[in-house]
Amino acid sequence: MAKNNLLGGALWDAYSNEVSRRMDNPTHLGVLTEEDAKARGARLIVADYGAEACGDAVRLYWLVDEKSDTIIDAKFKSFGCGTAIASSDMMVELCLGKRVQEAVKITNLDVERNLRDHPDVPAVPGQKMHCSVMAYDVIKQAAGQYLGKDVADFEDEIIVCECARVSLGTIKEVIKLNDLKSVEEITNYTKAGGFCKSCVRPGGHEAREYYLVDILKEVRAEMEEEKLKSQAQKSLEGSLAFSDMTMVQKVRAIDQAIDTHIRPMLMMDGGNLEILDIKEGGGFVDVYIRYMGACDGCASATTGTLFAIEGMLQDHLDEHIRVLPI
């Protein structure tokens, strides 16, 4: 399906390429049957979960080797939006090859992070974070069936909003990622507080341990403290020569320079890079990188592009920096 036929370009920019790909062509969509289980000497587990908050639903199929408790095959069927399909597809992928006891530790945050194109850029708009919660819950349903346990036995995450099944970790993450400043914004992004409203503030029909107003206040205070620390650190580093920085400061300076001057240029052409390691020795600082996307295998990756990256770091930081692709 063509992106522009469904959503405006600005909104599509909020979705990672990985999410878009899995929306259109999910890898693990399908059904597993008792015949499949018999043919592979495995046990079939079928679990369902429906999210009343948004009307989406997912069915998860596992084939489990009972000798090792390993999930040897998995499929899903999803009834809902494209983000729910992409999240379910990634959820299945994360389950494959794991023991059931390990798979149950997969969270909605794990699903979302694995859908990102870049570690620091959310895979979906904040208001779609709740779609990955379904994946998180259906895994627990399947594990409960297989291990003969109640789903509550697997609840490591603190659930703040029972109506939308939104965890404390998700709410904190969304506030930080999207610089949210009001409870209304939290509700728009996560669905938390959008239904019975008991989790918004004290005084609702059901007392809660955590309230959105308090979580927001706490996270905003943490963000402000981190901001002040970052400003102080930047001020200190700005007054230091690169050669006088600690290794941690050098790593931060290199990463910031690449984010500012190189990464946007690469991403315009569908490419990217990641820093694998930084080492000092022989009077040089060697930066080991790996090309990604369109840059991987590009003819200029070891010539023009490489020289441009290295030259930028030498111009902005230190002439003794070398860049080595791996």
Distance from C-alpha of 19 to C-alpha of 21, rounded to nearest angstrom = 5
Mean pLDDT for the chain overall: 86
- Domain containing residue 262: 242-325
pLDDT in tens, 248-259: 888 988 998 999
pLDDT in tens, 31-65: 999 999 999 999 999 999 876 555 678 999 999 99
Residue 55 Ramachandran class (φ > 0 left, ψ -120 to 50 alpha, else beta): left
CATH code of 290's domain: 3.30.300.130
22-47 burial code (b ≥16 CB/10 A, e <16): bbeebebeeebeeeebeeeebbbbbb
Please tell me which residue, 157 or 16, carries the higher pLDDT value. 16
Closest CA to 37 of 72, 89, 70, 78: 72
76 domain residue, yes or no = yes
204 domain residue, yes or no = no
142 domain residue, yes or no = yes
User: Once rounded to an integer, what is the mean pLDDT over residues 1-20?
Assistant: 61
Closest CA to 219 of 260, 182, 172, 256: 172
DSSP helix/strand/coil, 322? strand
The rounded percent of the chain whose pLDDT value lies above 90 is 51
121 domain residue, yes or no = yes
201 domain residue, yes or no = no
Q: Give yes or no: 54 in active site.
A: yes
Among the listed residues 54, 95, 295, 298, the single catalytic one is: 54
Among the listed residues 95, 131, 295, 298, the single catalytic one is: 131
26 domain residue, yes or no = yes
Closest CA to 275 of 310, 323, 237: 323
Q: Apex CA 259: angle with CA 258 and CA 260, to 5°?
A: 90
Report whether 295 belongs to an annotated binding site: no
Out of 156, 185, 201, a domain closes at 156
CATH code of 150's domain: 3.90.1010.10
pLDDT at res. 1: 39
pLDDT in tens, 58-110: 999 999 999 999 999 999 998 878 888 999 999 999 999 999 999 988 877 78
pLDDT in tens, 129-163: 667 777 878 998 999 999 998 877 776 668 898 77
286 domain residue, yes or no = yes
Out of 126, 156, 186, a domain closes at 156
Q: Is there a single domain that holds both residue 147 and residue 257?
A: no
Q: Is there a single domain that holds both residue 20 and residue 150?
A: yes
97 domain residue, yes or no = yes
Out of 156, 183, 208, a domain closes at 156
Q: How many domains does the chain have?
A: 2
Q: Give yes or no: 298 in active site.
A: no
Report whether 95 belongs to an annotated binding site: no
Q: Is there a single domain that holds both residue 142 and residue 266?
A: no
